[in-house]
Structure 1
Amino acid sequence: MRITVIGSTGHTGRHVLVEALRRDHQVVAFTRRPAALSDPTELQAVVEGDGRDPEKVREAVAGSDAVISIINGGGRHDPHRAADATRTITTVMADLNVRRLVITSPYPLVAHKPRIPLWVLRRLLATPYADAAEMERVVSAGDLDWTIARLTRLTDKPATGAVLTSRVLLERPHAITRADVAATLLDIVQDTHLAGAAVNVCGRKPFREFQ
């Protein structure tokens, strides 16, 4: 597949690039910071730009089979970053007839058993969570073949291969490595049964704790 990765120089996006290349996909990196790419020579293309710029998004998405978008919720100085960029991305994809979209979102938006009490998370992260919630609404209101992957707490540990992907709320929302997230996002891209669904993704502990 030819896959455009938006947010490709973030901590998780870099893992997605590595794993996509390992699987022999053609990869287009879309980023505001191309200098942060460690080795762009294996990439199909690098497009520098902001996700709210339709012309730059069009350049990055044209000819791709799928888009993986990893955009964190906004902050005080840019509170609608994720939702605004996602409106542009989905509009461009629909115009170009690029159907498959996998987008990340924080699991605490829907969680009932986080490691930190929900009221603490939702107060401390009110702005990015509100932006992520609006981003989800933008995606689910469209008619692309979208999947929202809601992620639990991310770590930089090595990949374990032990991942739980569920359409229902997680009984034990364990942390997950970014490397495992990358593999999971690429698996989801190729799983057409998950189109039109939001899934919750976490790491898994030993078999006695499997759901």
Structure 2
Amino acid sequence: MKLTVFGATGGVGQEIVRQALRAGHQVTAVVRDPARLEVTGPGLDVVRADLTDEETVRPAVAGRDAVLSGLGARSRKDAGIATRLTRTVLGAMETEGVRRLLVVSAAPLGPAPEQDGPLDRAVRGVVSAVFKDIYADLRAMEEEIARSATDWTVVRPPRLQDRPVTGKYRVVVGGSPAKGRSLGRADVAHAMLAMTGDPATVKQGVGIAY
């Protein structure tokens, strides 16, 4: 497949690029600073683009089979960036007629599993309060995506870790795994690539966790 990856220098984004190349896909990595992209290899095209300008983004998505995004705030002071930058990506995709979109959001935006106990619910409440600005940004991003003409999937992992890819995690379409407390960034990337061709995940929020 021909894939475009936004947020390609982030933890999840670099893993998407790395694993996609390993699987033989053609990858366009859209970055602000090419020097920060540690992945190289045949089939990779690195594009520097201003993600506040739809016109500069359009060539990066034109003719692609799917777009995968790891865009998001790195800290609370960056809250708002996910919505703003994703809005640009959506505009470029709709102009170019590219439909498949997968983005990273966060577990607290999905429904709480009924099986979760008091401790899990308490932790979820604390995390949501501490990162309320970031989650408000992600919620606004999800709402814009849901209103778009794309065939979208919103992937909602819990606390992210730097761990090797395992390919062993739980997936709940339209919900959240019970007691799902962590997931490696490499496995988030693995899940997103697996969902790219899965029609059951189109226009769905998908919870993933170990």
Q: CA deviation at 1:193?
A: 2.3
Q: Distance in 2 between matches of 1:36 and 1:76?
A: 22
**Residue in structure 1 matching 2:176, options 163, 169, 173:** 169
What value does the CA root-mean-square deviation take over the aligned residues?
Answer: 1.9
Q: Percent identity?
A: 35
Pair 1:197-2:194 in alignment: no
Q: CA deviation at 1:43?
A: 4.2
Q: CA deviation at 1:14?
A: 0.9
Q: CA deviation at 1:75?
A: 5.1
Deviation per residue, 1:71-95 (Å, 9 max, x gap): 1247555432111111111111011
CA shift in 2, pair 1:115/1:43, >3 Å: farther
> Given that residues 14 and 39 in structure 2 are in contact (C-alpha distance below 8 angstroms), is that contact kept between their aligned partners in structure 1?
no
Q: Which residues of structure 2 form unaligned runs of 5+?
A: none
Q: Secondary structure at the match of 1:143?
A: coil
> Given that residues 29 and 43 in structure 1 are in contact (C-alpha distance below 8 angstroms), is that contact kept between their aligned partners in structure 2?
no
Q: Distance in 2 between matches of 1:182 and 1:78?
A: 22
CA shift in 2, pair 1:116/1:8, >3 Å: farther
- Larger deviation, residues 84-93 vs 40-49: 40-49
> Given that residues 152 and 202 in structure 2 are in contact (C-alpha distance below 8 angstroms), is that contact kept between their aligned partners in structure 1?
yes
Quote the residue 1:143 is aligned against.
149
**Aligned letter for 1:6?**
F
Q: Secondary structure at the match of 2:105?
A: strand
**Aligned letter for 2:205?**
A
> TM-score scaled to structure 2, two decimals?
0.89
Pair 1:134-2:148 in alignment: no
Quote the residue 1:2 is aligned against.
2
Quote the residue 2:186 is aligned against.
179
Q: CA deviation at 1:65?
A: 1.0
Q: Secondary structure at the match of 1:42?
A: coil
Q: Secondary structure at the match of 2:178?
A: coil
Q: How many matched pairs?
A: 203
Q: Secondary structure at the match of 1:117?
A: helix
Correspondence list, 1:103-118, <5 A: 103-110=103-110, 112=112, 113=116, 114=120, 117-118=123-124
Q: CA deviation at 1:61?
A: 0.8
**Aligned letter for 2:176?**
L
> TM-score scaled to structure 1, two decimals?
0.88
